[in-house]
A = this chain, B = another copy of it.
């Protein structure tokens, strides 16, 4: 089966790793913007976005995998003068989504940055990958919902990622798409399969979040051995990200 991994950080993976993923059937992946230290300059993120579009896609090609870029300001790496980054995101430079964006601690700056990016995404009709944190997941996700509702963000553009048992009900009742992140410390394969069984396979998109740290880059391929859903493993992603 051909698979799509909706959330990786390809920069943290060697080209041989990407080849392993491709050999396991993962032929499509979305690489999400993240900078692993606090950047001192907005320009660093602008060049990072160019790198994701121009270079990571090329590394993907060499590995037999189509890599699409998703750009945005992650709440853990907000630079000073972040509005310059959001201004750059208004360009059409070849990315297919904004992300990962979201909240980590939900302080004022994080909320301002998320709101600003969501407003732009709404204006541009751009799908968004929204990060939810490990710590205080329920409380912080509620704050994300509040912001989404206040900007009247279209449900069809909103993927709430790294969902778990605690928040999935609220994601589904709001008609958002849910990101099933299968990874040690997040969901295991059995938990992910149970959620699909309970809520159906129309609302989920599978991903590994593999990247800079130790991680199971083949998580989506392993999930495919457990659940036989082309929707969760490919088609819902194609539809959400408008891949043709």
Contact = CB atoms under 8 A, between A and B. Distances in A.
Interface of A: 11-17, 35-37, 39-41, 43-44, 46-48, 50-51, 54-55, 59, 62, 212-214, 217
A43 B41 CA distance: 6
In the A-B complex, the 7 residue pairs with the closest CB atoms: A41-B43, A44-B47, A43-B43, A36-B55, A39-B47, A44-B44, A13-B14
B40 A40 contact: no
27 contacts: A11-B11, A12-B14, A12-B15, A13-B14, A14-B14, A15-B213, A15-B214, A16-B17, A16-B214, A35-B47, A35-B51, A36-B55, A37-B50, A37-B51, A37-B54, A39-B47, A40-B43, A40-B46, A40-B50, A41-B44, A41-B46, A41-B47, A43-B43, A44-B46, A44-B47, A59-B212, A62-B214
Contacts of A55: 36-37
Contacts of A13: 14
A37 B41 contact: no
Contacts of A41: 41, 43-44, 46-47
